[in-house]
Every structure is written in C-alpha cells, then in structure tokens.
Structure 1
Amino acid sequence: MSTAMAGTPGAADFTSALFLGQRHPSAVVPPWTELTTGVPAVLRELPAATELAWAVAAQQHAGSGLVARSALHGMMDILQVLPQPGDLLLVDAGAYPLTQWACRAAAARGVRVVTFPHFRPPAVVPQTRTWLVTDGWCQGCGRSAPLGAMQTLVGKTGGRVVVDDSLAFGVLGQRAAEASFGDGSGAVRWQGLKHDGVVWLGSLAKAYGTPVTVITGDRPTITRLARHGGNRLHSSPPSAADLGAGLSAVRDSRMPRLRDRLWRLTRWLRQAFGNLGLPPLGLPFPIVGTRLDSLQLARRWRSMLVARGVQVLVQLPRCQPGALLSAVVRADHPQADLDRLVRGLAALTQDRRAA
C-alpha cells in the first residue's frame, strides 16, 4: 500500500510507523535467561507472555488474552479454530492483505467466505452463525470501522466481530476528552464500545515498537485458541526479547505523555497541510495524508521532498482510487522536522500554483 525512499542520513524521516517513538535498545530491554523455550507455546510459554496478554486484556476490560508471534499467526489461528464448516465469514474488502490470506485459508475448510464493500457490512445476514472480519482503522480513508453496527449484526447469530487493530493499538483508545487519541487500548474503546462479542488482535510492532501480537476476547474463546491454535502447536512462540520489550512498553508510565505529544504534533501538521491547500484525509491520526491528482505527481513530489532532506510516503489505498502523499508523525519528532516538511510542501505548492 505504501512505498518509501531509502533512508538518507540527516533527513527528516516521516516514513516510520513507530508512532510513540519506541525503539528498545538492547541496553534497556529486560534481561532474559533463555531467548526462547524450544517448545511450542501450547506446551509452555515464558511468564512474560501471560503478563503481556493480561495487561492488554485488563486495559480493554476483555475477558482474557494470549500472545501470538505476529498478526498473521494470530489471525490464521482465529480463523482456523473459531469459524466452523457451514458458518458464514464476512470480510471487509479493504482489510489488510494478511487478513485476506487467512480468510482464504478458512474457505478451504468449508467456511463460506463473502466479501462486503469497505466499512459497509450488509444490513442483515442469514440465520447462520456469522463472523465478520475487519481492520479497526483504515489508513486509506482515515476512519474507523463501524464496530457497533458490526457487533449488533453478527451478535444475533452467535458469531463474533474479528478486529485486526494493529494500526490503532497503542494510539487510539478510551478518551476522557474528544481532543485526544485516548489511552491506546484500541479502536473499540475509542468508539466508546465494550469488547463484548469481539475477538481482537493487535500487533505491538507499530506504536509499541516490538514484533509481537496480543489477542483478546471472552475467556472461553481465548481458552479454545490457546489449546487448539495451529501456530501455537507448530510455530515458535515470541522470544523473550520481544515479550520483555512489549511488556515494558505497555507498562511505561510515559505513554500518556507520549500520546498527548503525538496528538499535538498530529493536529499541528494537519492544520499546516490545510493552510497549504492540501486537505488532510479523514480524522486525526498520526498518518497525515493528502490526496493528489495522480500517482505520477505524488511520486514527483516525494522525490522533490527527498532532495530537500525530507522522507515521506506515497500510498495507494486499497479502499479507493488515487494516490496519497503521507507523512507519519512520531512522538519523538522534533518540531524542527515538522517545520522542514512544511517548508518543503510550501515550495511545492507555490511551484504548482505558478505553473
């Protein structure tokens, strides 16, 4: 969906999705006595795996949680274990490609898989158990899935909403005030909803900077996944380094301050985009993008910004045509980097108006 220029020393880099600036240098990662257990997770997990899963589940007021090696590992287990032959699996057409792959694997087991238009689920479903799979947040259109309507739709059938919230996790969450991103617990609580009827997963590889995924849901569902998930039986579990870094990040007392700074920088940059005649897409989120007339123009502008020492993204949304020129904001961005980006964009817009 996106491309970025190779790193340039000294450049202002707006291509990294480490939204909260978490990098976990080896000197500060908690030490470990074994990097991995040497056995599948279904047989034995490191204590930090349980601690991390429960920390995330508790923040969401979900029933239970467990860890997975990645979002793909987690989604494959969810869709191989929970939907049964004859069930209906509805998948959002704009869902991340990894999710689409997992849905196709479910179809091979006799699960009926049907795609619906992006964030527009059907008004009614057949009287059969129905599962609905969606991303929590779409960077292509800058909005969150209508999770409340989805919960209502499939809840009557005994199914669940399966949410890949890897983009929003750590950024969006329950809000004490509208003018904030919230507590980082995810898009469900950002919408003011409970996790009832939701099987949720989120990778920590973006906001929290470590490649491990957490799955949450009601206790019977999580127990079933823990016992029967194929990747938990056949794949190596997350390493001690990943778990330790993730647990340190979610427990870090600085996170609220980092999210507050991220909010302020994001709002400032969105306002600057608007002042330049480049309307920012969607709702406030640390990926600040604007639609350009063509892919060629977006690529040309990116190249011209790189020449000015600024790295940005060209994105091709799955959910709509056209190209976006986007800057990914991080909590550790100095204001000088944002100023440098805006000066570069100002020069480009002036050249376009002159032409």
Structure 2
Amino acid sequence: MLDFTSALYLGMRHPSARLAPWHSLTLGQPAALREPPGAQALAASLAALQGCEAACVLPSTLHLFWDLFGLLAAERLVILVDGGSYAIARWGAERAQALGLPLRVFPSGEVAVLQSLAAAWGRQGRRPLILADGYVPGSEQVLPLAAYAALARQGGGYLLLDDTQVLGVAGASGGGSARLHGLPGGYDKAGGHLIVGASLAKGLGVPLAVLAGCGALLRRFEAHSQTRVHASPPSVAVLAAARHALALNARHGDALRARLADPRPSPFTAWCWSCW
C-alpha cells in the first residue's frame, strides 16, 4: 500500500555521493537573468518524459501555481475546480480569483456538472480553465481526465493538472497523467489546451517542480514569470538530484513501479534501498 505521508514512493533518495559535483550551490541570480547550469536541458527531458512540447523547472509547486494563475488571470476565463484538487493549486486559483476571474467548484469527477458550468460561462464569453489532480489520494475514483480535456478543447480553454501524485509513478516510463490517459501534450493545436504542473518530490524524490505544456505557453510563462525575477531559482544540488532521478527512472523505473503493486521484498528492492 502506498504511504501518502511519505514523499518517496519509488524509494529514490539521491545521496550526495551519487550526484554530479558542483562548484557553487547557487549563482546568486534569478532565473530571469541566468538559468542555473543544466536547468534548460533538464526541463527538456521532463517535457519529453510527459509527452509535452516544452517545460520549465521551478523551486516548488507554490511558485509554479502562484505564477501560472497570475499569468492566466489576464485571459477571459472561468476557473472550474474539481472538488478533489489539492490545496496548493487551489491557492493559485484563488490568486486568479482575487485578480478578477470567476471561480466555481464542481463535485469531483462529475463530467455532466462540469459540462453544464462550461456551457453556461461560455455563453458569457468565458473560456474554461479546468483544474484537477491527476490522482486524488485516498480516492478509488479514476478521474475522467480525457473528458475534462475534451471540454477544455471544445471551449477553447485549458485543462490544468496538478500531477504531483502521478509523475514518476504511472504512465509510460513514469510520464504521468498525460501519458496514462493519452492526452496530447502540446505538439499540435489539439494539445495546446493541456498544462501540467507537478512536483518531483513524490515519484522521483526531488523537491523540484516542473511546468509542462505547449511551447507557446511556456515561452509566455518564462517571459512574464514573477517568481523567476523575484525568487531564487532551484539550487544546483536540486538540479543534480533531478538528473540523477531521471537516470534512475530510465534504468530501473519500470521495475520500481512494478514494486508498488507487489511490495514483497526481493533482491532487487533490497539493492535499491541500500544504494539510492
């Protein structure tokens, strides 16, 4: 059984002796002035893992959702929040609400209610920004994310996923909900509506956030991001841990994910715990 009080679902720990060395923990500059070494290459790898066109790394999902909702508040949208959504993404949504966007919460998984809300607000000229988690801890329900994505696309809006519980844990190669549900990640017009925000802490054991989606949105985010100007970027140590996590995922991720379904001790898992 998964322990949702732990941030180490796959058992990845990234001891410093196994990470690439660094000469300085921080550059002393915000990301808007100078990206930390390896940040852009890491973001590209995380985008590819999720099947998205582009990505950007940030220190936390709090930075991510605060910034993203501030950007999206400038559009004529209505925020439609799945009732199972996690608190941090909701805090971002509440920021956009304070900036003038209407916000409504619908019962988790209720597509008919969501469809009705999207249609009603569409008649007022507002496009849907649907917020949902890739997975809601403790719930036996699989959210109808493909249906959410279809409604977002039909309404000319966005489906924004908090994929913290799924990235690294499910989907092809641990690519998360976009891979798991077959959602286009921004390579064409059909995928431009999908935005994925996630922490790597749960599945990959790294306190780092990634925002992924279509290239146009990511370029706009990086150009207007306030946290990339006013907050410190991810440390060089955290970026090294994230690269280590992706290397482990490529070599052993499928076996580790299989272990979640069969947690009986084995020589492989014993080696995992001793080395990682």
* Letter of the 1:263 counterpart: A
Is residue 2:50 matched to residue 1:60?
yes
Secondary structure of the 2:69 match is: helix
Is residue 2:258 matched to residue 1:263?
yes
Matched residues in 1 for 2:254 and 2:220: separation? Answer: 34
- Contact 2:31/2:232 (<8 A) preserved: yes
How many Å apart are 1:151 and its aligned residue? 1.1
How many Å apart are 1:192 and its aligned residue? 2.5
Is residue 2:10 matched to residue 1:20?
yes
- Contact 2:73/2:99 (<8 A) preserved: no
Instruction: Give the TM-score normalised by the residue count of structure 1.
Output: 0.66
Matched residues in 1 for 2:232 and 2:218: separation? Answer: 19
Deviations 1:282-322 (A, max 9, x none): xxxxxxxxxxxxxxxxxxxxxxxxxxxxxxxxxxxxxxxxx
* Letter of the 1:162 counterpart: L
Larger Rg: 1
Question: In structure 2, what is the equivalent of residue 233 of structure 1?
Answer: 229
Question: In structure 2, what is the equivalent of residue 150 of structure 1?
Answer: 148
Q: After the TM superposition, which residues 1-355 of structure 1 pair with which residues of structure 2 at under 5 Å, given as runs?
A: 16-84=6-74, 86-121=76-111, 122-124=114-116, 125=118, 126-127=121-122, 128-174=126-172, 183-195=173-185, 196=191, 197-252=193-248, 255=250, 257-267=252-262
Matched residues in 1 for 2:256 and 2:154: separation? Answer: 41
Larger mean CA deviation between 47-56 and 143-152 belongs to 143-152
- Contact 2:43/2:56 (<8 A) preserved: yes
Secondary structure of the 1:27 match is: helix
Matched residues in 1 for 2:74 and 2:167: separation? Answer: 28
Matched residues in 1 for 2:235 and 2:140: separation? Answer: 33
Deviations 1:97-155 (A, max 9, x none): 11111111111100111111112241241322211111111112144421111111121
Matched residues in 2 for 1:332 and 1:100: separation? Answer: 39
How many Å apart are 1:29 and its aligned residue? 1.4
How many Å apart are 1:45 and its aligned residue? 0.8
Question: In structure 2, what is the equivalent of residue 346 of structure 1?
Answer: none
Question: In structure 2, what is the equivalent of residue 337 of structure 1?
Answer: none
How many Å apart are 1:257 and its aligned residue? 3.2
Larger mean CA deviation between 48-57 and 142-151 belongs to 142-151
Question: In structure 1, what is the equivalent of residue 273 of structure 2?
Answer: none
* Letter of the 1:154 counterpart: A
Secondary structure of the 2:168 match is: coil
Secondary structure of the 1:105 match is: helix
Residue segments in structure 2 that go unaligned for 5+ positions in a row: 186-190, 271-276
Say if 1:332 and 1:246 are closer, same or farther in 2 by CA, change over 3 A: farther
After superposition, the CA RMSD in angstroms is 2.5
Secondary structure of the 1:99 match is: helix
Secondary structure of the 2:17 match is: coil
The sequence identity of aligned pairs, in percent, is 35
Off by >4 Å, runs of 4+ in structure 1: 331-334
How many Å apart are 1:260 and its aligned residue? 2.4
Matched residues in 2 for 1:193 and 1:85: separation? Answer: 23
Secondary structure of the 1:137 match is: coil
Matched residues in 2 for 1:136 and 1:76: separation? Answer: 19
How many Å apart are 1:22 and its aligned residue? 1.0
How many Å apart are 1:262 and its aligned residue? 3.6
Matched residues in 1 for 2:140 and 2:247: separation? Answer: 28
Matched residues in 2 for 1:135 and 1:65: separation? Answer: 18
**Structure with greater helix percent:** 2
Secondary structure of the 2:80 match is: strand
Aligned residues: 255
Larger mean CA deviation between 194-203 and 233-242 belongs to 194-203
